[in-house]
Amino acid sequence: MSYKKYLALISVIALMTSCVSTAKFPLSPLVPAADITAKIKKQGKLNYLVTITANNLAASERLNPPKEIYIIWAVSEAGVTRNVGYFIQQNAIKSIYRASFPYKPIEVFITAEDEEDLCKPSDIEISRTKL
């Protein structure tokens, strides 16, 4: 590989990774095996792509008390907390949530709930991180 191609490849990789911010969720006492990370990337002028990956997240039915679903909440810079979605758990190995936001979320957290269309989170918080 020539020097110019090598330099161009390094530049492209640096540009792609410089726009992504990654945050690791702290260990949860409710699901201690879960390894959860959040990535935020700016899309255009106003949108932000958020990707949350949860490895080894136990099924919500296995919690005590059992729940139906894990809900993802985002807090905006204005301090507004919104239900932005939920994990679709295909297996316990890996769950992924990906969505585009019209605002920059400053904090993301996960709760265990009995229904998916809630306006306020319950007291069963799995984990929380700042972006």
**Residue 10 located in a structural domain:** no
| 12 inside domain | no
Question: Residue 39 belongs to what H/E stretch?
Answer: strand 35-43
Residues 45-67: b if buried by 16+ CB within 10 A, e if exposed: eeebebebbbeebbebeeeeeeb
User: pLDDT value at position 89?
Assistant: 73
Q: What is the CATH number of the domain that holds 78?
A: 2.60.40
> Is residue 61 one of the residues assigned to a domain?
yes
Q: In this structure, is residue 6 part of a structural domain?
A: no
Q: Whole-angstrom Cα distance, residue 42 to residue 104?
A: 9
The number of domains in the chain is 1
Write the pLDDT tens digit of every residue in 70-123: 999 999 999 999 999 999 776 668 899 999 999 999 999 999 999 999 999 998
Banded pLDDT at 6 (limits 50, 70, 90): low
Does residue 14 belong to any structural domain of this protein?
Answer: no
Residue 48 lies in a domain: yes
Domain that holds residue 106: 20-130
Q: Is residue 9 part of a domain?
A: no
Question: Is residue 81 one of the residues assigned to a domain?
Answer: yes
12-28 pLDDT per residue, tens: 554 554 567 899 999 99
Token reading at 92? 């316990």
| DSSP string computed for 79-110 | --EEEEEE---SSSSEEEEEEEESS-EEEEEE
Cβ neighbours around 30 below 10 Å, total: 15
Pairing of strands 81-86, 35-43: unpaired
- Per-residue pLDDT tens for 29-76? 999 999 999 999 999 888 999 999 999 999 999 899 999 999 999 999
Contact 74, 18 (CB under 8 A): no
